[in-house]
Amino acid sequence: MAIAYLNGVWQALHEAKISVLDRGFMFGDGVYEVIPVYDNKVFLLNEHLKRLSTSLSEIKIASPMSVEQWAALVLQAVEKGGETNAMVYIQVTRGVAEKRGHLWPQDISPTVLLTVNAAPGLTRLYSTIAIVPYSMVTMDDFRWKNGHIKTTSLLAAGLIKNEAAALGVDDAILIRNGLVTESSSSNVFVVIGGAFVTPPKSRLILHGITRDHVLMLARKSSLVVEERDIEEAELFSASEVMVTSSGRELWPVGSIDGKKVGDGAPGVVWKELDKSFQAYKETL
């Protein structure tokens, strides 16, 4: 059952309501986290909560809970949701103001929303996953310069994703000043010159939890790992391209701008890392 925790009250998701004066609704003035649950086990909870804390700090919202309280709430949500595989969504906005205005009110409390939704596509059975590589296009990264904040203001990402869909592809790889940043909601990796490469952390990209986990797995393998700038041209000389996110884990890219990546199929490096990712989930 899809459930929600809204400001201290558990209820069915469809019954959860907020004021039209909530600054999250009015301004996108809030942040969020999405946390996978595999076989009732929460994946990388501490890392997600640390990033939530960072995002709140960046937009000057005092966290309404301690890390321990957040962790307990997430575990309670998983239990109440009763889903084997699920996505836990946390959203914190600045709260409800008496009137609309750009200045932050000083006497309001944050709105806290947590939801649990079934995610049957998340599985621990590696052999049951149908792997169809993404087709992608390159697009200009016109978003704001604070991409490291996981904000609820996702209009730009929506525009990019929908433009890609209108072109008949799955998503876009974004380019800023000739360099790869990320996808609309994923971090980007390439295999080139024998190295496993991803753009370094900066204010221009989300500091992905799955990104960091995949880098850890890669460093434990025999792969040469590099965090460095990736030029747009390198996308088309790479033997493999892949993206990472909480919802899709590690996913191969089969074509970019109509040109095949490698032979268009999941590559050797992707297979090795995905196998390690699935094996790690079995240890939870």
The residues assigned a catalytic role are 150
Residue 96 near residue 130 (C-beta atoms within 8 A)? no
Structural Rg of the chain based on CA atoms: 19
Residue 18 tokens read as 């907020």
Q: Are 118 and 83 in contact (CB under 8 A)?
A: yes
Cα within 13 Å of Cα(255), Cβ side = 10
Handedness of CA 167, 171, 177, 178 (dihedral sign): negative
CA dihedral over 40, 110, 49, 34, signed as positive or negative = positive
CA 142 to each of CA 156, 175, 246, 255, 264: distance values in angstroms, whole numbers, following the listed order: 8, 9, 23, 22, 28
Burial class (CB within 10 angstroms; exposed 0-12, middle 13-18, buried 19+) of 155? exposed
Please tell me the number of Cα atoms within 13 Å of 212 on its side-chain side.
11
